[in-house]
Amino acid sequence: MDLRRWLGMLARVGLSVVGAGVFYLVFLVAFLTWYETSKAVEAALRLSAPVATAAGFAVGAAILEPRSRTQKAWFFRILAWPLVACAVGAAIVYPMGPMLIVFGMFAAGTAAMVLRELLRAGRKGSRL
């Protein structure tokens, strides 16, 4: 594998982490603004944290993702990886404290994006 391909993979993973950070900050502002409204709103906001963070990972990677005109639903193929990882990461860390889930989501989400890129590199022409 050539250096250009490795740099592209690194750029996609890096930009996905930046996207996740931006989306999580937006989520955090919304959470801190509305979490005292009611218990139902707080529960809905807590459940939306992995979704918002995963969307940030996916948007960041999608910016540099090579696409073809025939490929359908490419964004959801990207979103599936960090969504599962962020949900699992949040679930693992939640018992230690609900506000610590960000660490689990970022660790698992980054690992999922690295794994996705490595699998894509190993399967040239793959639609992962």
Residue 68 has φ and ψ, to the nearest 5°, of -115, 160
Structure tokens at 5: 């391909």
User: The whole model's pTM is what?
Assistant: 0.84
Question: What is the rounded CA–CA span in Å between residue 31 and residue 47?
Answer: 11
Residue 37 domain-assigned (yes or no): yes
What distances in angstroms separate CA 116 from CA 15, 43, 86, 105, 107, one per listed residue? 14, 30, 14, 16, 14
Does residue 56 belong to any structural domain of this protein?
yes
Q: Specify if 127 maps to a domain.
A: no
Q: What is the pLDDT along the chain (128 residues), one digit of tens a residue?
A: 578 888 888 999 999 999 999 999 999 999 999 888 888 988 898 899 999 999 999 999 888 877 656 566 678 888 999 999 999 999 999 999 888 899 999 999 999 999 998 998 877 654 54
Residue 106, in any domain of the structure: yes
- Report the pLDDT value the prediction gives residue 120, as an integer from 0 to 100: 84
Range of the domain at 110: 3-65+72-122
16 within some domain: yes
Please count the structural domains in the chain.
1
Q: What is the dihedral of CA 65, 4, 114, 45, to 10 degrees?
A: -40
pLDDT value for 108? 96
Q: Is residue 128 part of a domain?
A: no
Distance of alpha carbon 107 from alpha carbon 92, whole angstroms: 11
The answer to whether the Cα torsion of 50, 118, 7, 126 is positive or negative is negative
**From CA 33, how far away is CA 30, in angstroms rounded?**
5
Return d(Cα 39, Cα 20) in angstroms, integer.
26
